Amino acid sequence: MSIYIIVEGKNDRSRLRRLLTPDVTILCTFGTLNTVKLESLRLQIKDEEVYLFMDNDSSGKKIRGVLRDVFPDAGHIYTRRGYAGVEGTPDEYLISQLEKAGLEEFIMYPPASKY
């Protein structure tokens, strides 16, 4: 079974890519959704496990709402209000949210600090 996470932009994808194994496919909406983009996402994901990880702003909430209709069984991962989107969220918080979603086996934990 494949795991997919949908994010808004390429910087969000890059940020998560550093923390997740290659087993997780990270797809971007590039901040916009239209019929063609939604159909493309639906065809790629099919009936696989999918998570929505959008920024906690009006644009992110709007995109999450549209994607919720297309993927009603999707898991939802949230970043905290005040962070500059997914890309501006500290690694520790991203990891805690991925753990809450049950994705521990796919997280590449950073080495523990010696200090």
Confidence grade of residue 20 (pLDDT, cut at 50, 70, 90): very high
Q: What is the pLDDT of residue 80?
A: 87
Q: What is the pLDDT of residue 115?
A: 56
Tell me the three state secondary structure of residue 2. Answer: coil
Tell me the three state secondary structure of residue 68. Answer: helix
Q: Judge contact between 2 and 44, C-beta under 8 A.
A: no
Which residue ranges make up each domain of the chain? Answer: 3-102
Mean pLDDT value across residues 12-23: 95
Q: What is the pLDDT of residue 31?
A: 77
Mean pLDDT (the chain) is 91
Asked if pLDDT for residue 11 goes beyond 60, the answer is yes
Specify the CATH number for 3-102; select among 3.40.50.10490, 3.40.1360.10, 3.10.290.10, 3.40.50.720.
3.40.1360.10
Separation of alpha carbons 57 and 75, rounded Å? 18
Q: Judge contact between 95 and 19, C-beta under 8 A.
A: yes
Q: Judge contact between 28 and 12, C-beta under 8 A.
A: yes
Half-sphere exposure of 60 (CA within 13 A, CB side): 22
Q: pLDDT tens-digit profile of 34-83?
A: 999 999 999 999 999 999 999 888 888 999 999 999 999 999 999 988 88
